[in-house]
Structure 1
Amino acid sequence: MVQQAKRLAKLALSPVLMLLGLFSSGAWAAEGAPQRWQVNITPGVTEVGAKIYDVHMFVFWICVVIGVVVFGIMFYSVFAYRKSRHSEPATFHENTKLEIAWTVVPFILLIIMAVPATKTLIDIYNTDDADLDILVTGYQWKWKYEYINPDGDNVSFFSNLLTDKAEIGNSADKGSNYLIEVDEPLVIPVDKKVRFLVTANDVLHAWWVPALAVKRDAIPGFINEAWTKATETGVYRGQCAELCGRDHGFMPIVVNVVEDSDYQEWMDGKQAEAAELKELMSKEFNMDELVARGKEVYNRACVACHGANGEGGVGAAIAGSPIATGPVKDHIDVLVNGVPGSAMQAFGGQLNEVDLAAVITYQRNAFGNNMGDMLQPIDIYNFKKGQ
């Protein structure tokens, strides 16, 4: 009864809270991100975001004035010329001055609104002279980021939902960043123009971070451009804004805006990881090393569909499956290329050769399969090359 009363109270107060949201949006603006019960947009932490907000409020107040004038005239007419006071209605039809007024005034108002809106729209689509280019690719259901470096090797990684499965299944308390936390956030420098090249690998997605004033559709086979230039450091969160499938709500976006020195330090670390991976490609692993690494990869990328014990679920069971106990080449093919028409994704572009070799080795030797097979990164490389 108490919970029901609270819900009814919220419903009763919601119109009041919405009005308060419209007139107190400036208090939320300082935080740079949408807040609970906020009904207005946020200026965010970019200059173009502030321009969008200013245009939005400018047009909003024009609409408020028009509404007051129109409804004021209407209510006055209903009151002043009601039947009890004027039983004989007026018989006039055309009024040239009135016709001219209600044609010219809206035209002028549209011009007044169109000029700042057009200037802002031009700024939104001006992606020239970027300091940094990042390719953003949507997958079901994660994001891939690739830093395009014209002077050296590109740095790329996947960003996956970090929220614990127990929270999603309501068997544990939900954290403050429920469904909006990731294992690998995007990192960009403050006060630098960053151009995003947005596309998708499978279905339609949309990359949306309100505080950075960026929202672009991710379409397979197309590259859409967007840009941002954050003026404040911080952590800014967003989500996929296109209904992209069963786990649409499980592919959040987290962007860390940091000082330039911190960004360079982070980039140096990522490039060192890439160099280390190249070294691992030429290394020959033993069974224990492959199984240990494969288990980590399985728990990160496979457990949601195939189960913690290989029992299956959304995906087929790994324990005793004809793939995990059949020819090694078929097993590699399924992981690298996926299974068309099923939930099994192609992991050839999502996992590197070391992780693919490790997770296949793990699957073929865990869950009672005990095949004794052991793959090396070069085996995966040769398979991809031979396709």
Structure 2
Amino acid sequence: MLKRLRPFSLLAVVFTALMVASSGALAGWELNMRQGVTEISQEIYSLHMLMLYIVCIIGVLVFGVMFWAMFKYRKSKGAKPATWHENTRLEVLWTVIPLVILIGMAVPATVTLAKIYDTPDADITVKVNGYQWRWEYTYLADTPEEEVSFFSSLATPRFEIRGEAPRSEFYLLDVDNPLVIPANTPVKFLITANDVIHSWWVPDFGIKKDAVPGIINESHATVLEPGTYRGMCAELCGRDHAYMPIVVEVLEPEEFEQWLAEQRGDVAAAEQDDSVALTSAGQVRSFIQ
């Protein structure tokens, strides 16, 4: 029996080797998950590939034996059906083996899931607020004066959307003000919404959290590589749902600190201008009166 099954075992090994060798090509064709640029996204990818290999091997073995039995013992060759009624040893075996496989798959899946929902201490906390149809980002700080807040909206021109010009490389995936965070730094995201349910999704981070009005969902990321990463709203949120892209620029920590200082300086200057304008308006009213 073992000799008869040996060709199917070899087939399973060859199939698995092809899967491993072709994983890079599949990723290039966007037929596979992205490995991402955070530890959790890479762990999710590894878990996905582990499950894929397990189910492929099981599928090859099960269908291989099934087709072999159908061919070997087909009626046209005069095969006679077995007359045995039960076999306790086999029944225990085919119950225990799937149970062990399921437990072996559940343990790493549970560990990864716990890491996804765990929110460790972070150096930076960003509040993500969804609107129809844009995002608001607020860098929280100890005092309101140090906080930085801005809106991020679609930057694709309307004439391009209407088909009056060729589509750019990042059609519907570019924004006017991207979210900026530092690399190799724990960042916590507090995700909510102002009107309807949205969903903040950046595939390379392994993050997808619903933005629900009145509820704050937490997520976190430590991005390992500087660069520009794109995502989108993943919850149907109305007419312009397709026009809610997400762009995150990841800078080196020193560059991020410089950028944040510039943003705080711009906020302070704007507040000073508003104060001067209000004072001038008050003086004009007093003069008129």
Structure 1: any 5+ residue segments left out of the alignment? 1-19, 30-34, 286-375, 378-387
Q: Distance in 2 between matches of 1:173 and 1:180?
A: 15
Aligned pair partner of 1:55 in 42, 47, 52: 47
Identical aligned residues as a percent: 50
Q: Does the 8 Å contact 1:21/1:39 carry over to 2?
A: no
Paired residues in the alignment total: 262
CA deviation map 1:156-176 (0-9, x unaligned): 100000001111000011100
Q: Distance in 1 between matches of 2:277 and 2:42?
A: 54
SS in 1 for 2:257: helix
Q: Does the 8 Å contact 1:137/1:201 carry over to 2?
A: yes
Q: Does the 8 Å contact 1:21/1:40 carry over to 2?
A: no
Q: CA RMSD in A?
A: 2.0
Query: 2:199 — aligned with what?
Result: 206
Q: Distance in 2 between matches of 1:99 and 1:217?
A: 45
Q: Distance in 1 between matches of 2:26 and 2:58?
A: 27
CA shift for structure 1 position 83: 0.5
Aligned pair partner of 1:194 in 187, 191, 209: 187
The alignment status of 1:81 with 2:66, answered yes or no, reads no
Q: Does the 8 Å contact 1:235/1:256 carry over to 2?
A: yes
Aligned pair partner of 1:230 in 209, 223, 226: 223
Aligned pair partner of 1:281 in 268, 274, 286: 274
Q: Distance in 2 between matches of 1:234 and 1:209?
A: 13
Matches within 5 A, 1:216-365: 216-284=209-277
Q: Distance in 1 between matches of 2:26 and 2:180?
A: 24
SS in 1 for 2:34: coil
Q: Distance in 2 between matches of 1:21 and 1:270?
A: 48
Matches within 5 A, 1:99-248: 99-151=91-143, 152-248=145-241
CA shift for structure 1 position 111: 1.4
* TM-score (normalizing by structure 2): 0.86
CA deviation map 1:128-174 (0-9, x unaligned): 21111100011000000000112553111000000011110000111
CA deviation map 1:255-302 (0-9, x unaligned): 0000011101110111011112212222339xxxxxxxxxxxxxxxxx
SS in 2 for 1:278: helix
CA shift for structure 1 position 52: 0.8
Structure 2: any 5+ residue segments left out of the alignment? 1-17, 283-289
Q: Distance in 1 between matches of 2:108 and 2:275?
A: 58
* TM-score (normalizing by structure 1): 0.65
Q: 1:23 to 1:164 in 2, by over 3 A?
A: farther
CA shift for structure 1 position 22: 8.2
Q: Distance in 2 between matches of 1:113 and 1:144?
A: 39
Structure with a larger share of its residues in helix: 2
CA shift for structure 1 position 49: 1.1
Q: Distance in 2 between matches of 1:24 and 1:257?
A: 30
Q: 1:263 to 1:28 in 2, by over 3 A?
A: farther
SS in 2 for 1:84: helix
Q: Give the stretch that moved more between structures: 275-284 or 52-61.
A: 275-284
Structure with a larger share of its residues in strand: 2
Q: Distance in 1 between matches of 2:111 and 2:68?
A: 39
Q: Does the 8 Å contact 2:201/2:209 carry over to 1?
A: yes
CA deviation map 1:31-87 (0-9, x unaligned): xxxx6x311101111111111111110111000011011101110111011101235
Q: Distance in 2 between matches of 1:139 and 1:22?
A: 42
